Structure formats: structure tokens, C-alpha cells
């Protein structure tokens, strides 16, 4: 099955999408082709799941959103093209959260980690502090200002990593495998957090139960291509499609069908 086989709701993203990706290609220096003509449009306010097997190109795609990787094709964030000279503007608009929070947390205290981005935007000290306090409140970590990040649990670190990008007040949040390595309680807390955050999201994940619960729209990638893009409930119900692209329905993950 391919993209054209599914009904896609484009009523919001047909005009002025918040994120526009058009015919994006990318190969790594060793010659491995990771993206083969990826096109995607996400409207402001959408929360979109990006799924697919390992090696499908999901993480590579996310790294293009703020110019960490640069392929051939067109990417625009809030109308700003991703170019060398626009990277500061783009990176203020795209909050990228890595799978491993230790790749994002490096300061002696939580406050300093969350303040890092706003400080480098040249904001006044009062505004930096206000942004840190808002971001920590949004992730339920207001009491953690002076804590050492390396002493926190994985779930707490993931929340702080999200706060570091929320402090930049991005227009879109891009998360790579946010529920990976979390115990059930931390995973449940993360799902509730992502549901409540009032920001556009593109979330790469293997957690199909989370997709079923949290996302209205799902994009399936495989071998560097967008295979299907449509309503999550419809795609999740197509067992043949999921199995063809290394995915399992959420009820199979839980070992029971509702």
C-alpha cells in the first residue's frame, strides 16, 4: 500500500502549513541513502506520529528540521526556508528533543540547562528566568531548579529535555522516541504531558499504543519514503499494512485486542 491508497485529511495543511517538506533526499557520506523524496505538510496545532521500522529514515528526517543534516529538497518552518543563513531563525522555531536525554543535558543544574537556549537568544535575565519557570511548570518540574540532571531518573531527564526546548518557545516540537526506556508510570506521565502541551508536534516512535491513544494522524515511513499518511485509527486497523512495514498493531503489543 502506498500514500495514494489512503484518504488523507488535508483541509488544514493544504494552505500555509507550519511545516513543509517537499521532495527531500539525503544520503550519508558512506553512500547509504536515508531519504528518498520525502514530502510532508503539517498544519499549526497538529500532533502527528511518525512511525516505521529501524532504518526507515525517521530520525534522519527530524534532524533536517533545524538544519543539523542538510539534504536536497525544500523545507520551510513557519514560512522560513531552512538555509544556512536562516538557521538561527529556524532553530528558534523547531524544538528538537533527542531520544537520549543525556545528549541534551550537560549543565550542573536543571535551571542552567533550561536557561541555555534563551540565554543564547540574547534575552534579558528576567525574561530568561521567566521562560525557565514557564517551561518547567509545563512539564511538571517546577521544584527541580537546583537539581543535578545526572542524578535524575530517565523519565525526569526526558521532561527536563523537553523543558529545554519549550523555553525557546518553539512553534513545532519534534521528538525522537520519547517513550523509549521509560517504566510504565513514567510513560503514562509522558503521554499525559504530550497530550496537554499546546504546541504542534511531530513525534517519531515505535510505541504504537501511544500512537493509538494520543495521535489523530500517523505517517508511516519505510526505506526512506513516506508509505502512508492518514488518520491513525484507519492505518492502525490495517494489519497487513503494518506488518508489511515492520510494525505491530497496539493490541498485539499488549497481547490482547480490545
The reported pTM is: 0.89
Higher pLDDT, residue 176 or 12: 176
For residue 250, what pLDDT is reported?
Answer: 86
Q: Looking at the predicted structure, is the pLDDT value of residue 13 above 70? A: no
* Model confidence pLDDT, tens digit, residues 196-242: 999 999 999 999 999 999 999 999 999 999 999 999 999 999 999 99
Higher pLDDT, residue 122 or 5: 122
Architecture of domain 15-248: 3-Layer(aba) Sandwich (3.40)
Given pLDDT bands bounded at 50, 70 and 90, which one contains residue 16?
Answer: confident
Helix runs in the chain, H state only: 58-64, 87-93, 110-120, 125-138, 154-166, 184-196, 208-214, 232-236, 239-244, 250-254
Of 17, 56, 5, residue with least CA distance to 176:
56
User: Which residues have C-beta within 8 Å of that of residue 135, sequence separation ≥ 6?
Assistant: 114, 163, 164, 166, 167
For residue 258, what pLDDT is reported?
Answer: 44
* Model confidence pLDDT, tens digit, residues 37-92: 999 999 999 999 999 999 999 999 999 999 999 999 999 999 999 999 999 999 99
Measure CA 247 to chain center: 19
* Model confidence pLDDT, tens digit, residues 81-132: 999 999 999 999 999 999 999 999 999 999 999 999 999 889 999 999 999 9
Given pLDDT bands bounded at 50, 70 and 90, which one contains residue 249?
Answer: confident
Q: Looking at the predicted structure, is the pLDDT value of residue 6 above 80? A: no
* Model confidence pLDDT, tens digit, residues 123-174: 999 999 999 999 999 999 999 999 999 899 999 999 999 999 999 999 999 9
The sheet that has 172-176: what strands, in order across it?
A: 94-97, 172-176, 200-204, 47-51, 217-222, 225-231
Higher pLDDT, residue 233 or 9: 233
Phi and psi at 104, nearest 5°, equal -115, -20
For residue 10, what pLDDT is reported?
Answer: 42
Helix runs in 74-226, H state only: 87-93, 110-120, 125-138, 154-166, 184-196, 208-214
For residue 252, what pLDDT is reported?
Answer: 57
Q: How many CB atoms lie within 10 A of CB 141?
A: 19
Judged by DSSP in three states, 77 sits in strand
| Residue length of the chain | 258
Q: How many CB atoms lie within 10 A of CB 239?
A: 13
Burial pattern 96-123, b for ≥16 Cβ within 10 A else e, equals: bbbbebeebbeeeebbbbbbbbbeeeeb
Average pLDDT rounded to a whole number, residues 13-24: 84
Q: Which three cell numbers, joined as nine digits, stand for 203?
A: 513525534
Amino acid at each position: 500500500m502506498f500514500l495514494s491508497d489512503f484518504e488523507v485529511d488535508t483541509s488544514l495543511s493544504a494552505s500555509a502549513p507550519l511545516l513543509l517538506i517537499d521532495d527531500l533526499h539525503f544520503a550519508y557520506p558512506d553512500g547509504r541513502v536515508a531519504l528518498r523524496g520525502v514530502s510532508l505538510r503539517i498544519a499549526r496545532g497538529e500532533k502527528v506520529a511518525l512511525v516505521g521500522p529501524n532504518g526507515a529514515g525517521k530520525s534522519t528526517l527530524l534532524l533536517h528540521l533545524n538544519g543539523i543534516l542538510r539534504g536536497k529538497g525544500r523545507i520551510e518552518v513557519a514560512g522560513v526556508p531552512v538555509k544556512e543563513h536562516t538557521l538561527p531563525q529556524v532553530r528558534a522555531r523547531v524544538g528538537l528533543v533527542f531520544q537520549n536525554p543525556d545528549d541534551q543535558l550537560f549543565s550542573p543544574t536543571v535551571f542552567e540547562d533550561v536557561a541555555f537556549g534563551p540565554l543564547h537568544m540574547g534575552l534579558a535575565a528576567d525574561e530568561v528566568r521567566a521562560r525557565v519557570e514557564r517551561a518547567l511548570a509545563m512539564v511538571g518540574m517546577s521544584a527541580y531548579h537546583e537539581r543535578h540532571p545526572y542524578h535524575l531518573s530517565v523519565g525526569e531527564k526526558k521532561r527536563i529535555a523537553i523543558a529545554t526546548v519549550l523555553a525557546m518557545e518553539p512553534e513545532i516540537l519534534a521528538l525522537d522516541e520519547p517513550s523509549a526506556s521509560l517504566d510504565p508510570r513514567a510513560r503514562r506521565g509522558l503521554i499525559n504531558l504530550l497530550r496537554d502541551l499546546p504546541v504542534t508536534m511531530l513525534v517519531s516512535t515505535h510505541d504504537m499504543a501511544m500512537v493509538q491513544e494520543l495521535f489523530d494522524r500517523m505517517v508511516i515511513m519505510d526505506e526512506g519514503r513516506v508509505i502512508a499518511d492518514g488518520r491513525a485509527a484507519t492505518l492502525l486497523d490495517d494489519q497487513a499494512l503494518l506488518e508489511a512495514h515492520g510494525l505491530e498493531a497496539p493490541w498485539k503489543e499488549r497481547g490482547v485486542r480490545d
